[in-house]
């Protein structure tokens, strides 16, 4: 019997309500109470077997849940349509989710480490800055071009990343991230350490930096950016999830888990690693281009090694290889320190300790990746 | 008739260690060949050289009339040789089906458009492969075939070995190299697994098997031909009865009397 649709919808509604409350909470005490309440609710739901019901329901009615989740983000964005800061936070979270999905393809699937996520995000940002400043390229084209620039510049790393393994590959990408920042700092054309401004995103004649007025409805200009970031995330999410549910996803997994056996079964290790690395950088670059438009002004200090570590901690916390885990962890990592000003300064220490705790006690992450289901909700046609 | 696989004077060195010393080895189509010898005698190295994991220092490997010396593992697989590993190399977090599909790589489409956009064509290929994988598993164990959607990590050793053999068979190779399939199993389990292998061979006409095995009972029961290695050299060859009588073999295993 097919699982009920209701638990998935109830869960989506509950998450939307929780998100609303969380973003609306002003005082730190209220935020703290919400965190405690959230943890207690999860624990209680687990105790009464509700989480399992939600999980099977989501798996059986994935389309419904996807639509509900998108609707939930829209509801929250509409609720706060005049609040610049909340909308900016949401946009940032959505874009970091997209970039972290790129990292998921690289690290979660193909096993290629990348500790320079922020650099690839930065390449996207600077592409947007340069293109809006010097060229009349239509903004919609700037997003894929930002991705292409990240993928192209990332290809410098392909050879060293393929030749090294484990810690050494990590060091290669760390070095790249630091070099990127230094390169921008000494480069006057790109604004040097002072940074440079990025022109607004625009679509169908509407500049995204103008406030929105439709009839009696007025919204912050960030509202449009939330919509654009959401659209980008939905595309990236659909791509990554479908990739996982294909022979390509299987090949990437096989290479991560056992290179020798994979080679003996015809898998071209280098080809798939390059594919995953390039695709991941492309996604980070696309997100970065839009992020540049959102910020309006970018500087090398936005793309430090610490920011790369935030991206890595998102995929470790969320559950390696699980797109929904990335979504949950990115929301948490972006919004929590903004709400809890006290921890703002200590946020890296907090993430680090959280990552260590997760790796020690739940190495698969908070929302572990499930077994591959090529067509969820549909049973295999059994042999006659 | 020329043999399906022919290794001529294969030599493989690691620094000063001669792992294989001018070894001649051949297997005729449809045969089960036993490869035996004490630990460290070069059996697994021979498999690794044939499958392209190591390059030989000298000598040649010919498969189905084509020279495949020093070819990459991927090319060897495409030519029709698959293998299992002494220390089972499975993707433990993946399902049984996924693990078998890794072995089906050359018969699956890996194009981006096919995988991402042509989902109904993909679904058809998936359904076809699923039926094949189930049928193959059914030969070994109908109970295991029921668990095709479960992760390999939760299955006992004998089932992992079966899956590993299914992974090697799903692409319909002409030659399969089994590297100590009974390692870590009880006598009873080993006997079961060997029965399964014999059944499979009957269903797959012309399948050639080379098996590394320490259980002499197994070798005696299933092989038509044996090759004995010691310190990287071939010291004897023939039917099991013949090599068991060979003084060189007795000395290698038991020491000089």
pLDDT of residue B148: 94
Residue A272 resides in a domain: yes
Instruction: Give tens-digit pLDDT for A5-51.
Output: 888 999 999 999 999 998 888 888 888 899 899 989 988 988 888 88
- How does strand B5-14 pair with strand B17-27? antiparallel
Radius of gyration of chain A (CA): 21
Q: Do A121 and A182 fall within a single domain?
A: yes
pLDDT of residue A117: 93
Rounded Cα–Cα distance for residues A307 and A77 (Å):
25
pLDDT of residue A384: 36
Q: How far is CA B220 from CA A365, B73, B178, B241, in A?
A: 50, 31, 16, 8
Rounded Cα–Cα distance for residues A9 and A3 (Å):
12
Any residues with CB less than 8 A from the CB of A347 and at least 6 apart, and which? A336, A337
Q: How far is CA A31 from CA A76, A313, B72, in A?
A: 17, 22, 58
Q: Is the pTM of this model over 0.95?
A: no
Q: What number is the average pLDDT over the span A120-137?
A: 92
Q: In this structure, are residues A336 and A343 in contact, taking their beta carbons and an 8 Å threshold?
A: yes
The answer on pLDDT for B256 being more than 70 is no
Rounded Cα–Cα distance for residues A128 and A150 (Å):
12
The answer on pLDDT for B90 being more than 60 is yes
**Binary contact (B134, A383; C-beta < 8 A):** yes
Q: Does A271 touch chain B (CB under 8 A)?
A: no
- Predicted complex ipTM exceeds 0.85: yes
Instruction: Give tens-digit pLDDT for A241-280.
Output: 999 999 999 999 999 999 999 999 999 999 999 999 999 9
Residue among B53, B74, B85 minimizing CB distance to A266: B74
Q: Do A40 and A133 fall within a single domain?
A: no
pLDDT of residue B133: 95
Q: Do A70 and A136 fall within a single domain?
A: no
Domain extent at residue B192: 1-80+173-257
pLDDT of residue B249: 86
Instruction: Name the 3-class secondary structure at A298.
Output: strand
What percent of chain A stands above pLDDT 90? 51
Four-point Cα dihedral B141, B43, B89, B223, nearest 10: -10
What residues of chain B lie within 8 A of the CB of A381, using their CB?
127, 130-131
Instruction: Give tens-digit pLDDT for A51-67.
Output: 888 888 888 888 999 99
Rounded Cα–Cα distance for residues A316 and A103 (Å):
11
Q: What number is the average pLDDT over the span A290-319?
A: 91
Residue at a domain's end among A28, A50, A79: A79
Q: Do A138 and A264 fall within a single domain?
A: yes
Residue A189 resides in a domain: yes
Mutate to test the interface with B, among A248, A261, A278, A376 (most CBs of B within 10 A): A261
Residue B247: other Cβ atoms inside 10 A:
11
Q: What number is the average pLDDT over the span B22-34?
A: 93
Element (H, E) at A196: strand A196-197
**Binary contact (B102, A263; C-beta < 8 A):** no
For residue B236, the domain's CATH number is 3.40.50.300
Q: Does A350 touch chain B (CB under 8 A)?
A: no
Q: Do B71 and B110 fall within a single domain?
A: no
Residue A378 resides in a domain: no
For residue A268, the domain's CATH number is 1.10.3470
- CB pairs < 8 Å spanning A and B: 98
Q: What's the number of domains chain A is made of? A: 2
**Binary contact (A257, B93; C-beta < 8 A):** yes
* Token pair listed for B131: 């039926």
Q: What number is the average pLDDT over the span A297-312?
A: 90
**3-class DSSP string for chain B:** CCCCEEEEEEEEEECCEEEEEEEEEEECCCCEEEEECCCCCCHHHHHHHHCCCCCCCEEEEEECCEECCCCCHHHHHHHCEEECCCCCCCCCCCEHHHHHHHHCHHHCCCCHHHHHCCHHHHHHHHHHHHHHHHHHHHHHCHHHHHCCCCEHHHCCHHHHHHHHHHHHHCCCCCEEEEECCCCCCCHHHHHHHHHHHHHHHHHCCCCEEEEECCCHHHHHHHCCEEEEEECCEEEEEECHHHHHHCHHHHHHHHCCC
Which of residues A377 and B120 earns the better pLDDT score?
B120
The answer on pLDDT for B199 being more than 60 is yes
Q: Does A48 touch chain B (CB under 8 A)?
A: no
Give, to the nearest 10 degrees, the angle between helix B119-140 and helix B157-169.
Answer: 120
Residue among A247, A381, A383 minimizing CB distance to B110: A247
Q: Does B137 touch chain A (CB under 8 A)?
A: no
Residue at a domain's end among B132, B164, B196: B164
Q: Do A351 and A234 fall within a single domain?
A: yes
pLDDT class of A379 with cuts at 50, 70, 90: low
Domain extent at residue A60: 1-79
Q: What's the number of domains chain B is made of? A: 2
> How far is A307 from chain B, CA to nearest CA, in Å?
30
Instruction: Tell me which of A209-223, A284-298, B106-120 is least confident.
Output: A209-223
One-character DSSP codes across A67-96: HHHHHHHHHHHHHTTT-HHHHHHHHHHHHH
Residue A22: other Cβ atoms inside 10 A:
19
**Mean confidence (pLDDT) of chain A:** 89
Q: Do B177 and B58 fall within a single domain?
A: yes
Mutate to test the interface with B, among A247, A255, A270, A377 (most CBs of B within 10 A): A247
Q: In this structure, are residues B80 and B63 in contact, taking their beta carbons and an 8 Å threshold?
A: yes
Among A52-66, A98-112, A306-320, the range of highest mean pLDDT: A98-112
Q: Which residue of B has its CA nearest to A255?
A: B91
Q: Do A53 and A99 fall within a single domain?
A: no
pLDDT class of B28 with cuts at 50, 70, 90: very high
Q: How far is CA A379 from CA A369, A374, B256, in A?
A: 20, 10, 62
Tokens 């092989």 belong to which residue? B223
Residue A113 resides in a domain: yes
pLDDT class of B10 with cuts at 50, 70, 90: very high
Residue at a domain's end among B134, B164, B194: B164
What residues of chain B lie within 8 A of the CB of A263, using their CB?
52-53, 72-74
Residue among B74, B108, B135 minimizing CB distance to A247: B108
Q: What number is the average pLDDT over the span A307-329?
A: 92
Q: Do A60 and A118 fall within a single domain?
A: no
Residue B86 resides in a domain: no
The answer on pLDDT for A68 being more than 90 is yes
**Binary contact (A251, B105; C-beta < 8 A):** yes
The answer on pLDDT for A234 being more than 70 is yes
Q: Do B153 and B230 fall within a single domain?
A: no
């Amino acid at each position: 019997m097919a699982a009920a649709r209701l638990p998935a919808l109830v869960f989506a509604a509950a998450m939307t309500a929780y998100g609303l409350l969380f973003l609306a909470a002003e005082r730190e005490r209220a935020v703290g109470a919400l965190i405690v309440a959230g943890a207690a609710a999860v624990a209680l739901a687990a105790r009464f077997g509700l989480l399992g019901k939600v999980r099977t329901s989501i798996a059986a009615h994935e389309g419904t849940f996807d639509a509900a989740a998108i609707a939930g983000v829209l509801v929250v964005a509409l609720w706060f349509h005049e609040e610049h800061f909340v909308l900016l936070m949401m946009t940032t979270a959505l874009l970091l989710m997209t970039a972290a999905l790129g990292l998921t393809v690289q690290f979660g699937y193909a096993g290629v480490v990348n500790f320079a996520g922020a650099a690839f995000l930065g390449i996207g940002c600077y592409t947007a800055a340069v293109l809006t400043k010097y060229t009349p390229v239509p903004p919609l084209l700037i997003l894929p071009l930002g991705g292409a620039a990240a993928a192209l510049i990332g290809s410098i790393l392909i050879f060293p990343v393929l030749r090294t393994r484990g810690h050494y590959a990590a060091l290669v990408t760390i070095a790249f991230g630091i070099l990127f920042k230094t390169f921008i700092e000494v480069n006057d054309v790109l604004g040097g350490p002072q940074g440079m401004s990025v022109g607004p995103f625009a679509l169908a004649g509407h500049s995204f930096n103008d406030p929105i007025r439709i009839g009696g409805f007025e919204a912050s200009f960030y509202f449009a950016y939330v919509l654009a970031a959401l659209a980008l995330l939905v595309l990236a999410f659909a791509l990554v999830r479908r990739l996982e549910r294909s022979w390509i996803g299987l090949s990437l997994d096989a290479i991560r888990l056992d290179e020798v056996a994979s080679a003996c079964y015809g898998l071209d290790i280098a080809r798939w690693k390059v594919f995953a690395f390039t695709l991941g950088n492309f996604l980070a670059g696309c997100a970065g281009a839009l992020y540049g438009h959102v910020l309006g002004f970018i500087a090398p200090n936005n793309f430090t090694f610490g920011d790369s570590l935030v991206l890595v901690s998102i995929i470790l916390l969320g559950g390696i290889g699980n797109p929904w885990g990335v979504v949950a962890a990115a929301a948490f990592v972006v919004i929590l320190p903004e709400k809890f000003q006290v921890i703002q300064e200590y946020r890296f220490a907090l993430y680090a300790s959280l990552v260590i705790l997760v790796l020690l006690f739940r190495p698969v992450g908070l929302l572990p990746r499930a077994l591959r289901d090529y067509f969820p909700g549909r049973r295999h046609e059994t042999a006659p | 008739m020329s043999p399906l696989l022919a290794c001529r004077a294969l030599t493989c060195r690691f620094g000063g260690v001669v792992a294989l010393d001018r070894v001649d080895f051949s297997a005729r189509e449809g045969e089960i060949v036993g490869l035996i010898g004490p630990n460290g005698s070069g059996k697994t190295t021979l498999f690794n050289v044939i499958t392209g994991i190591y390059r030989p220092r000298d000598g040649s490997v010919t498969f189905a009339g084509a020279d495949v010396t020093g070819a990459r593992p991927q090319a060897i697989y495409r030519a029709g040789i698959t293998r299992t590993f002494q220390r089972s190399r499975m993707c433990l977090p993946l399902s049984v089906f996924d693990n078998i599909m890794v072995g089906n790589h050359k018969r699956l489409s890996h194009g981006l458009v096919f995988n991402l956009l042509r989902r109904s064509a993909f679904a058809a290929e998936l359904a076809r492969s699923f039926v094949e994988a189930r049928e193959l598993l059914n030969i070994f164990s109908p109970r295991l075939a029921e668990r095709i959607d479960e992760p390999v990590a939760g299955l006992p050793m004998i089932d992992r070995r079966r899956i590993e053999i299914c992974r090697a068979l799903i692409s319909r190779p002409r030659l399969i190299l089994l590297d100590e399939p009974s390692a870590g199993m009880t006598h009873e389990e080993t006997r079961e697994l060997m029965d399964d292998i014999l059944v499979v061979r009957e269903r797959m006409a012309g399948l050639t098997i080379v098996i590394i095995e320490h259980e002499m009972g197994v070798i005696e029961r299933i092989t038509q031909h044996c090759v004995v290695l010691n310190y990287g050299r071939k010291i004897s060859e023939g039917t099991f009865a013949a090599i068991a009588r060979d003084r060189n073999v007795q000395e290698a295993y038991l020491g000089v009397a």
